[in-house]
């Protein structure tokens, strides 16, 4: 291939489609597709499945420790959106890349409502996928001749907070609720009148020995005035790294540190001068996410109210900014203000927990095999749901209520299933008479964003026994191939699987970052639970992940075509191999507990909302700290030493604070009983 052809292929791979302007600078080049410019035909005109490898050989590298750390650099070329010839681009992309892109454009259209649970848009998605399965001649897989597998599930339940009483007064002067202060969603009930102690940022231990407390700090009988966030520089920017900030400056952690030291109530304030920070009182709804409900009143006040408190209680009359600067530098920890300043706070808060019953549909179709292998199976899948308007899942608060199109996550994977259904059907039609080929099940899952609900239901109610499945190929976010880097996880989950994959990887023209374990957080995990080898294909994280910016015009159809070509060849190869793959338990994948700190526990956490509180252990890897400490599948971790574990966040925080060789006491719920286990932690490396 000439240098010009190679450059042109890169242009096609990243051009802004449908007229959206794009400036993706790379390689100091500028290429224009003008209406009258001759454009040579591309090598990618070859039929899908015949193999690429025409742009140099592929290579295999090790993936990062965490799946979220795989984020290749953009390597694209600026094009002139005003003169680009879109028709020529799509003709050069070829029919499969164009078809894939059309599916992504359709599924990410607002008409499908972000494919959220319990929406008409998700029902339409089910019908859309079934239409194409029928179009390609796939057979129904589910009982009664259905392409759809309905299932019901309950959300973990939302906690509704109602504030019956909320009053605040400073030195007898009542303040107006919603204007001067608000009761926060993690507040408890109480009626307190007490003097005030400034507790700075309320951080027990930070980088460089930073702390807001000393060993003798006792806040009993005092109301704590707490700054939000963490130490800042003169420009109001964070002093600490994002990781340190996340670990030490979370409000739940800070408020627990204050409450544990005996504070009678907490008064939170946004520090003045913080860059890009909201200068507003939080809503009750948003502040429910500040952590578990406390047993003491928790309110937030305006900076003006906090200013009146500190200036009245400081004989030098220092303003709130001055106190913030002292806390930034670590010059002060907790400081008792003059007892002449008293705060009276009364809260009566009610919490009710409710769950929501939802329904979903998996959609599947069969490409029937032939010969002696026809009763064995290759499975190709992806999830077709997304988060709608951001009403559930780990959505940034600023994006709640906004439509999330979900082009890469995961219209890209769903489109991949549909394209492979077409190309593999065509390949089977052209197969030699007498050639042994396994059947292929194409299936898309609902409820992945709610905790792998659809694939877990499929695993528990599969119309095909796992003993007949040789390999599952999962696509979750394959729409953003950059720098020709693709991540494939699960390569050690089948005996001899990596040896089978290597020649395909090396002929792909791509750099394949492999990880032996599965993703632990997508639908391949449900197949690992069944004892089925499964691969997870992923083009990496990006700033648009799970946001309204995940639009169809941002995806890379040429890159997707290369990925699907690779998957086509792997699937066809696997379909014809005489021996079925045996499942092998791999080392913990990057979506499990590895990579969050210097130690690894060795569990596969249960996904979704299986328990009210704590972390459900789905399975335990052999030879790990968890296994040697006596943990078993079905246990629920509820306590780590003296710290309560309510979810994965608290578990990860504990892992980050320990070193290999530390022995910790982990309390689990097992068959309704609390069991204490002494667990000696091991390093976070592979195995």
Calculate mean pLDDT across residues 595-606. 69
Confidence at residue 554, expressed as pLDDT on a 0 to 100 scale: 95
Count the alpha carbons within 13 Å of 220 in the hemisphere toward its beta carbon: 2
Burial class (CB in 10 A: 0-12, 13-18, 19+), 64: middle
pLDDT, one tens digit per residue, over 76-93 is: 787 888 898 989 999 999
Confidence at residue 587, expressed as pLDDT on a 0 to 100 scale: 60
Burial class (CB in 10 A: 0-12, 13-18, 19+), 88: middle
pLDDT, one tens digit per residue, over 231-259 is: 999 888 888 876 666 667 778 889 989 99
Q: Is residue 372 pLDDT above 70, yes or no?
A: yes
238: Cβ contacts below 8 Å, ≥ 6 apart: 229, 230, 231, 232, 245
Confidence at residue 156, expressed as pLDDT on a 0 to 100 scale: 58
Confidence at residue 612, expressed as pLDDT on a 0 to 100 scale: 60
Calculate mean pLDDT across residues 471-487. 96
pLDDT, one tens digit per residue, over 201-215 is: 999 888 888 999 988
Bridge partners (DSSP) listed for residue 584: none
pLDDT, one tens digit per residue, over 538-580 is: 999 998 998 999 999 999 999 999 999 999 999 999 999 999 9
Give the residue ranges of DSSP H helices in 39-84. Answer: none
Give the residue ranges of DSSP H helices in 156-200. Answer: none
Which own/partner contact pairs does 612-616 have at CB distance under 8 Å and 24+ positions apart? 612/156, 612/157, 613/638, 613/646, 613/647, 614/638, 614/645, 614/646, 614/647, 614/669, 615/645, 615/647, 615/648, 615/651
Of 543 and 264, more confident: 264
pLDDT, one tens digit per residue, over 29-39 is: 223 333 333 32
How big is the chain, counted in residues?
A: 687
Q: What whole-number distance in Å separates Cα of residue 408 and Cα of residue 591?
A: 19
Q: What whole-number distance in Å separates Cα of residue 282 and Cα of residue 187?
A: 13
Confidence at residue 131, expressed as pLDDT on a 0 to 100 scale: 98
Q: Nearest 10 degrees: CA dihedral of 511, 516, 519, 522?
A: 90
Q: What whole-number distance in Å separates Cα of residue 171 and Cα of residue 569?
A: 76
Q: Is residue 200 pLDDT above 80, yes or no?
A: yes
Cβ(456)–Cβ(527) under 8 Å? Answer: no
Q: What is the mean pLDDT of the chain?
A: 84
Bridge partners (DSSP) listed for residue 639: 644, 667
Confidence at residue 345, expressed as pLDDT on a 0 to 100 scale: 97
Confidence at residue 607, expressed as pLDDT on a 0 to 100 scale: 54
DSSP result, 648-663: HHHHHHHHHT--TT-E
Angle at 77 between CA 75 and CA 82, to 5 degrees: 145
DSSP result, 611-657: SSSSEEEEEE-TTSHHHHTT--TT-EEEEETTEE--SHHHHHHHHHT
Calculate mean pLDDT across residues 412-428. 98
Q: What whole-number distance in Å separates Cα of residue 624 and Cα of residue 465?
A: 30
pLDDT, one tens digit per residue, over 106-130 is: 999 999 999 999 899 999 999 999 9
Percent of the chain with pLDDT over 70: 86
Cβ(420)–Cβ(100) under 8 Å? Answer: no
User: Which of 508, 683, 441 shows the shortest CA–CA distance to 58?
Assistant: 508
User: Which of 419, 437, 426, 429 shows the shortest CA–CA distance to 382?
Assistant: 419
In Å, how far from its chain's centre is CA 111? 24
Highest mean pLDDT among 152-156, 158-162, 400-404: 400-404
Burial class (CB in 10 A: 0-12, 13-18, 19+), 626: buried
Residue 190, SS3 per DSSP = strand
Calculate mean pLDDT across residues 296-322. 88
User: Which of 343, 322, 319 shows the shortest CA–CA distance to 225?
Assistant: 343
Q: Is residue 353 pLDDT above 90, yes or no?
A: no
Q: Which residues of 322-337 are buried (b: 16+ CB within 10 A; e: fewer)?
A: ebbbbbbebeebbbeb
């Amino acid at each position: 291939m000439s240098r010009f052809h190679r450059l042109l292929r890169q242009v096609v791979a990243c051009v802004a489609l449908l007229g959206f302007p794009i400036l993706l600078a790379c390689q100091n080049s500028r290429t224009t597709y003008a209406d009258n410019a001759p454009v040579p035909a591309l090598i990618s005109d070859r039929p899908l499945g015949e193999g690429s490898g025409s742009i140099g050989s592929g290579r295999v590298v090790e993936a990062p420790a965490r799946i979220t750390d795989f984020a290749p650099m953009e390597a694209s070329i600026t094009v002139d959106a005003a003169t680009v010839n879109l028709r020529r681009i799509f003709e050069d992309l070829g029919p499969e890349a164009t078809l894939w892109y059309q599916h992504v454009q359709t599924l990410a259209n607002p008409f499908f409502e972000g494919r959220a649970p319990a929406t008409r848009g998700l029902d339409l998605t089910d019908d859309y996928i079934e239409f194409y399965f029928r179009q390609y001649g796939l057979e129904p897989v589910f009982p009664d001749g259905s392409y759809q597998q309905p299932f019901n599930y309950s959300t973990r339940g939302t906690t509704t907070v109602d504030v019956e009483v909320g009053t605040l007064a400073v030195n007898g002067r009542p303040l107006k609720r919603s204007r001067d202060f608000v009761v926060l969603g993690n507040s408890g009930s109480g009626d307190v009148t007490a003097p005030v102690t400034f507790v700075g940022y309320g951080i027990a231990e930070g980088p460089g020995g930073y702390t807001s407390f000393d060993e003798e700090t006792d806040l009993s009988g005092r109301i704590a005035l707490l700054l939000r966030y963490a130490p800042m520089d003169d420009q109001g920017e964070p002093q600490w790294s994002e990781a340190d900030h996340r670990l030490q400056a979370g409000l739940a952690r800070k408020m627990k540190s204050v409450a544990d030291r005996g504070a009678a109530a907490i008064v939170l304030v946004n520090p003045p001068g913080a860059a890009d920070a909201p200068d507003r009182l939080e809503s009750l709804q948003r502040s429910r996410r500040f952590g578990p409900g406390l047993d003491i009143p928790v309110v937030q006040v305006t900076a003006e109210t906090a200013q009146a408190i500190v200036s009245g209680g400081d004989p030098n009359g220092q303003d709130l900014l001055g106190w913030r600067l002292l806390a930034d530098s670590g010059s002060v920890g907790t400081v008792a203000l003059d007892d002449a300043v008293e705060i009276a706070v009364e809260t009566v808060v009610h919490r009710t927990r409710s769950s929501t019953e939802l329904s979903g549909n998996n959609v599947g179709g069969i490409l029937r095999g032939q010969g002696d292998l026809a009763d064995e199976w290759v499975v190709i899948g992806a999830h077709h749901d997304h988060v709608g308007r951001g009403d559930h899942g780990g959505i940034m608060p600023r994006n709640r209520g906004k439509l999330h199109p979900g082009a890469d996550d995961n219209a890209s994977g769903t489109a991949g299933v549909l394209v492979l259904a077409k190309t593999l059907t065509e390949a089977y039609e052209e197969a030699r008479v007498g050639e042994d080929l396994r059947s292929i099940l194409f299936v898309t899952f609902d409820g992945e964003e709610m905790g792998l609900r659809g694939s877990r239901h499929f695993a528990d109610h599969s119309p095909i026994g796992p003993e007949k499945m040789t390999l599952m190929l999962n696509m979750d976010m394959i729409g953003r191939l950059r720098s020709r880097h693709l991540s494939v996880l699960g390569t050690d989950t089948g005996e001899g699987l990596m040896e089978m994959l290597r020649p395909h990887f090396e002929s792909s023209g791509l750099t394949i970052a492999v990880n032996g374990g599965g993703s632990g957080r997508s639908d391949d995990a449900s197949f690992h639970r069944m004892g089925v080898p499964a691969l997870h294909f992923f083009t990496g994280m990006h700033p648009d992940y799970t946001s309204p910016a995940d639009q169809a015009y941002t995806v890379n159809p040429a890159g997707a075509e290369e990925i699907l070509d690779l998957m086509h060849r792997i699937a066809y190869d696997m379909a014809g191999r005489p021996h079925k793959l045996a499942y092998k338990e791999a080392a913990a994948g990057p979506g499990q507990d590895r990579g969050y700190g210097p130690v690894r526990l060795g569990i596969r956490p249960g996904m979704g909302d299986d328990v009210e509180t704590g972390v459900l252990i789905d399975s335990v890897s052999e030879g790990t700290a968890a296994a040697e400490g006596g943990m078993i599948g079905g246990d629920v971790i509820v306590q780590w030493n003296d710290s309560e574990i309510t979810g994965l966040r608290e578990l990860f925080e504990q892992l980050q604070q320990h070193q290999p060789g530390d022995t910790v006491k982990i309390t689990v719920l097992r068959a309704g009983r609390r069991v204490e286990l002494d667990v000696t932690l091991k390093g976070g490396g592979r195995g």
